[in-house]
């Protein structure tokens, strides 16, 4: 049996971290989550190897850009995808120049995020900024309907089961 691809997920916002974990686990990843860049570095140093790192850009104690540089010092090969709600072209260029494999903008669908992770693992760097697509997991969108996750947006269904209906929607910001 093939092993699951391992992703280290780094985000300081618990609701976003939880929603991303669900989306990625549902896509077949083994997800290990860290609440900060510092925690991610500890996890990286003691865990079995990861296939890819997904990190938020805006975090309070260690920004995603600082985490990229720190990871590159200990592991120059691991693909790193940076997730952000707002990033200028200059910031994207800086992130890619400092060692990020991809920079994905919110809103982005779960399918597009998974695609960006796979592209990063195949060594195909690029920039993604896709609007959430109806019927997919919405990441960073303004809202999500039944059966979707909104990550970084206004509302989310508590899990991917469409039978939860509107009663499962909660505010995550």
- Answer whether residue 35 is part of any domain: yes
Instruction: Report CA Rg, the chain.
Output: 15
Q: Would you state the structure tokens that stand for residue 80, as one six-digit string? A: 């790193």
Who's near 88: CB < 8 A, 6+ residues apart?
none
Please state the domain count of the chain: 1
Q: Per-residue pLDDT for 79 more than 90?
A: yes
Kindly state the average pLDDT of the residues 12-37: 95
Give pLDDT, residue 159: 30
- Answer whether residue 114 is part of any domain: yes
Give pLDDT, residue 3: 74
- Answer whether residue 154 is part of any domain: no
- Answer whether residue 131 is part of any domain: yes
Cβ contact 168:159 at 8 Å: yes
What's the mean pLDDT when you consider all of the chain?
74
Kindly state the average pLDDT of the residues 59-77: 93
Count the alpha carbons within 13 Å of 48 in the hemisphere toward its beta carbon: 9
Beta strands in 15-125 (DSSP E): 29-34, 52-56, 80-84, 102-105, 108-109
Q: What is the pLDDT of residues 106-147, one digit of tens each?
A: 777 899 999 999 999 988 444 333 222 222 333 444 333 333
DSSP at 146: T
- Answer whether residue 80 is part of any domain: yes
Rounded Cα gap, residues 160 and 120, in angstroms: 25
Give pLDDT, residue 59: 94
Give pLDDT, residue 2: 67
Give pLDDT, residue 119: 92
- C-beta atoms surrounding 10 within 10 Å: 31
Q: What residue numbers bound the domain in which 129 lies?
A: 5-137
Rounded Cα gap, residues 158 and 136, in angstroms: 15
What is the 3-state composition of the chain as percent helix, strand, coil, each rounded to the nearest 5?
Answer: 35, 25, 40
Q: What proportion of the chain, given as a percentage, has pLDDT over 70? A: 70
- Answer whether residue 155 is part of any domain: no
Give pLDDT, residue 6: 94
Q: Per-residue pLDDT for 169 more than 70?
A: no
Calculate the CA dihedral of residues 141, 9, 56, 155 and round it to 10 degrees: 30
- Answer whether residue 40 is part of any domain: yes
Choose between 98 and 125: higher pLDDT.
Answer: 98
- Answer whether residue 166 is part of any domain: no
CATH number for the domain harbouring residue 33: 3.40.50.2300
């Amino acid at each position: 049996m093939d092993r699951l691809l391992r992703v280290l997920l780094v985000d300081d916002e618990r609701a976003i971290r939880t929603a991303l974990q669900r989306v990625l686990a549902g896509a077949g990843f083994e997800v290990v989550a860290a609440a900060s860049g510092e925690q991610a570095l500890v996890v990286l140093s003691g865990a079995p190897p990861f296939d890819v790192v997904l990190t938020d850009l805006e975090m309070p104690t260690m920004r995603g850009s600082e985490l990229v540089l720190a990871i590159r010092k200990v592991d120059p090969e691991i693909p790193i995808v940076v997730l952000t709600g707002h990033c200028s072209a200059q910031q994207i260029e800086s992130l890619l120049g400092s060692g990020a494999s991809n920079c994905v903008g919110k809103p982005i669908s779960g399918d597009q995020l998974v695609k960006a992770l796979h592209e990063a693992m195949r060594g195909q760097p690029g920039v993604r900024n896709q609007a959430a697509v109806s019927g997919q997991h919405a990441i960073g969108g303004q809202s999500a309907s039944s059966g979707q996750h909104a990550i970084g947006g206004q509302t989310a269904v508590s899990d991917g089961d469409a039978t939860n209906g509107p009663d499962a929607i909660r505010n995550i910001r």
